[in-house]
C-alpha cells in the first residue's frame, strides 16, 4: 500500500515539475515542508536528473528548492509564534504530570533553545518529518526570525544540494537515491530516539544528585595522600604557597590547604580532561568551534567554565583575575595562554592566593570580613565567589570548607603538611 502511495505521489510530482518548471519545483518543496508525507527524496533527485539532461540549471534548482522549502518553514514558525507562553505553561501545569514534564523542564527547554536552537534547527533540517516540525518550537520559543531563517537556509540548502547532486550524477537512475536516503534516515532516527532520551535522563539524574550534595555540603571527603607523596607535596608546595600568600596578603596555611584539598581530589579523569582541553584549544580554528560545541554537549559546561589543573580553576575565573589585576598579564594572549598558566604547577599557588584575595575583597565591599573565616573562604573557593553555585547566597561554610580550614589551622603553616616524621 505504501509503495503504491509513493508511486502515485511520484507521478504527480514529476508531472508538476515537467509542466510548471521552476515554479513547480518551488511549489512542490513548499508542500513538502507543510505536508510532511510528501518526501523531498521524490522531488530533488528527479529535478537533478532533469538538470543533467539540460532541462534545468543545477544551481537554479538548488536555490529555488531551498526558497520553496523556506517559505513552508515560515508557515510553521508563525504558527508556533502564535502560541502564547502563558497558554503553553497552562498546558504544562494541567497535563505535564502525565508526561513527566514540569514548568522547570519547560524553563530548561526555553533556555536550551536560546543557547542551542540554531544547531537544533540546522540538524533538524537533515531529517525527514523533523525538518517540517522543528519550525514550530522555534516559533514557540521565540527564536529570532533572522537566525531561524539563516540556519534553516543552511540546513535546507545542504540537504537540497546533496539530493539534487545525487540525481544529477545518477541521471536516469535517480530513483536509486531513495533506497540510500531512506536507510540513512531510518538509522539516524532510531539512534536519536534511543540516545537523546537516554542522555537527557542520565544528565538530569546526575545533576539532581550533584545539586543535592552541594546544597547539603556533603561532597565526599578527599582521600588522604599516601605518606611519601604527602612528604614530597610538602617540600615542593610550602615555599610556593608562602611566596604567593605574601604577594597577595592572604594566609599561607590556607593557600596550601586548598592546594592539598585539590591534589587529594585530582584523579586520572581530571588528567584526561586536562589533556582533552589542550587538544581542543590547540586544534586549528576551523575545527575548534565544532570541538567546543561537542565538549559543551557532552559535559554540560562550556570549555571556559571547566575546572582544570592543580588549582582546579576555570579559564573564565583566571581571565577575571587577570583583568582585575589580581594576576599579572600574560605574555601569551587568549585562552591558550590561560590554559598554559592553569596547568603550570609552578603557578598554581599564585592562582589560589589571588582567588582567595578576590573572594575576601569582594565580601569586604559587602561589609563582611572573611579574613579569619577560613572555612568560608575554602567553601567559596570551591563553589564560587558569592556562593550562588552552592550552599547559600550569603557566605556560610560547607563540609569541604571546614575540612580545608581544619587542615590550615592545625599548624602555623598547613597542619598535616608540616612533616615531623
pLDDT exceeds 60 at position 216: no
Q: Is 299 a member of any domain?
A: no
If DSSP codes are grouped into helix, strand and coil, which group holds residue 121? helix
Distance, in Å, from the CA atom of 376 to the CA atom of 218, rounded to the nearest integer, reads 15
Higher-pLDDT residue of 81 and 250 is 250
Which of 157, 183, 209 is a domain's end point?
A: 183
Which of 124, 153, 183 is a domain's end point?
A: 183
For the beta carbon of residue 399, count every other beta carbon within 10 angstroms: 17
Model confidence over 94-152: pLDDT tens digits?
Answer: 766 554 455 655 666 666 676 777 888 888 777 766 677 778 788 887 888 888 889 88
Q: Which of 89-93, 191-195, 398-402 has the lowest mean pLDDT?
A: 191-195
Mean pLDDT, all residues of the chain:
76
Residues 407 and 262 both lie in one domain: yes
Predicted local confidence at residue 175, as pLDDT? 53
Predicted local confidence at residue 418, as pLDDT? 39
Q: Whole-prediction pTM value? A: 0.49
Cell of 378: 575554602
CA geometry: angle 352, 213, 115, nearest 5 deg: 75
Residues 9 and 108 both lie in one domain: yes
Q: Is 152 a member of any domain?
A: yes
Q: Is 190 a member of any domain?
A: no
Residues 79 and 177 both lie in one domain: yes
Domain ranges, residue 49: 2-183
Q: Is 237 a member of any domain?
A: yes
Cell of 417: 603538611
Residues 167 and 28 both lie in one domain: yes
Q: Is 206 a member of any domain?
A: no
Is 134 in contact with 36 (CB distance < 8 Å)? no
If you average pLDDT over residues 390-410, what whole number do you get?
75
Which of 183, 209, 241 is a domain's end point?
A: 183
Predicted local confidence at residue 337, as pLDDT? 86
Is 207 in contact with 383 (CB distance < 8 Å)? no
- pLDDT band with cut points at 50, 70 and 90 for residue 417: very low
Most confident of 72-76, 352-356, 372-376, 388-392: 352-356
Predicted local confidence at residue 162, as pLDDT? 83
What percentage of residues in the chain have a pLDDT greater than 90?
11
Longest dimension (CA), the chain: 95
What percentage of residues in the chain have a pLDDT greater than 70?
70
Q: Is 375 a member of any domain?
A: yes
Residues 232 and 179 both lie in one domain: no
Residues 107 and 249 both lie in one domain: no
Residues 261 and 152 both lie in one domain: no
Residues 7 and 142 both lie in one domain: yes
Residues 252 and 347 both lie in one domain: yes
Q: Is 289 a member of any domain?
A: no
Q: Which residues pair with 313 in a beta bridge?
A: 308
Q: Which of 31-40, 218-227, 345-354 has the lowest mean pLDDT?
A: 218-227
Residues 146 and 260 both lie in one domain: no
Residues 68 and 131 both lie in one domain: yes
Most confident of 40-49, 72-81, 253-262, 380-389: 253-262
Q: Is 16 a member of any domain?
A: yes
Residues 108 and 162 both lie in one domain: yes
Total domain count, the chain: 2
Amino acid at each position: 500500500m505504501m509503495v503504491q502511495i509513493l508511486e502515485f505521489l511520484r507521478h504527480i510530482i514529476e508531472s508538476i515539475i515537467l509542466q510548471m518548471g521552476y515554479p513547480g519545483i518551488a511549489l512542490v518543496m513548499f508542500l513538502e515542508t507543510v505536508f510532511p508525507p510528501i518526501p523531498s527524496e521524490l522531488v530533488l533527485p528527479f529535478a537533478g536528473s532533469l538538470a543533467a539532461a539540460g532541462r534545468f540549471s543545477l544551481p537554479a534548482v538548488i536555490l529555488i528548492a531551498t526558497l520553496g522549502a523556506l517559505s513552508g518553514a515560515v508557515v510553521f514558525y508563525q504558527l508556533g509564534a502564535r502560541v502564547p507562553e502563558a497558554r503553553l505553561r497552562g498546558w504544562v501545569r494541567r497535563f505535564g504530570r502525565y508526561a513527566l514534564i514540569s514548568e522547570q523542564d519547560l524553563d530548561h527547554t526555553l533556555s536550551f533553545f536560546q543557547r542551542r536552537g540554531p544547531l537544533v534547527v540546522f540538524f533538524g533540517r537533515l531529517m525527514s518529518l523533523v525538518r517540517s516540525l522543528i519550525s514550530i518550537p522555534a516559533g514557540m520559543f521565540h527564536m529570532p526570525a533572522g537566525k531561524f531563517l539563516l540556519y534553516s537556509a543552511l540546513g535546507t540548502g545542504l540537504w537540497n544540494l546533496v539530493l539534487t547532486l545525487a540525481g544529477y550524477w545518477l541521471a536516469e537512475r535517480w530513483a536509486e537515491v531513495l533506497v540510500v536516503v531512506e536507510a540513512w534516515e531510518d538509522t539516524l532516527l532510531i539512534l536519536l530516539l534511543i540516545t537523546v532520551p537516554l542522555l537527557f535522563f542520565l544528565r538530569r539524574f546526575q545533576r539532581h544528585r550533584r545539586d543535592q550534595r552541594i546544597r547539603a555540603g556533603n561532597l565526599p571527603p578527599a582521600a588522604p595522600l599516601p605518606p611519601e607523596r604527602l612528604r614530597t607535596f610538602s617540600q615542593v608546595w610550602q615555599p610556593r604557597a608562602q611566596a604567593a600568600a605574601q604577594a597577595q596578603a592572604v594566609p599561607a596555611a590556607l593557600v596550601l590547604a586548598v592546594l592539598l584539598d585539590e591534589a587529594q581530589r585530582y584523579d586520572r579523569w581530571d588528567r584526561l580532561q586536562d589533556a582533552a582541553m589542550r587538544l581542543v584549544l590547540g586544534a586549528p580554528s576551523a575545527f575548534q568551534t565544532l570541538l567546543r560545541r561537542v565538549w559543551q554537549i557532552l559535559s554540560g559546561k562550556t570549555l571556559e567554565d571547566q575546572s582544570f589543573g592543580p588549582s582546579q580553576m576555570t579559564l573564565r575565573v583566571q581571565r577575571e583575575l587577570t583583568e582585575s589585576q589580581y594576576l599579572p598579564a600574560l605574555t601569551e594572549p587568549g585562552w591558550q595562554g590561560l590554559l598554559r598558566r592553569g596547568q603550570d604547577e609552578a603557578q598554581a599557588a599564585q592562582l589560589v592566593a589571588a582567588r582567595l584575595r578576590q573572594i575576601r575583597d569582594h565580601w569586604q565591599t559587602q561589609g563582611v570580613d572573611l579574613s579569619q573565616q577560613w572555612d568560608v573562604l575554602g567553601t567559596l573557593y570551591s563553589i564560587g565567589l558569592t556562593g550562588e553555585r552552592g550552599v547559600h547566597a550569603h557566605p556560610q561554610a560547607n563540609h569541604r570548607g571546614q575540612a580545608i580550614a581544619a587542615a590550615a589551622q592545625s599548624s602555623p603553616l598547613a597542619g598535616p603538611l608540616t612533616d615531623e616524621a
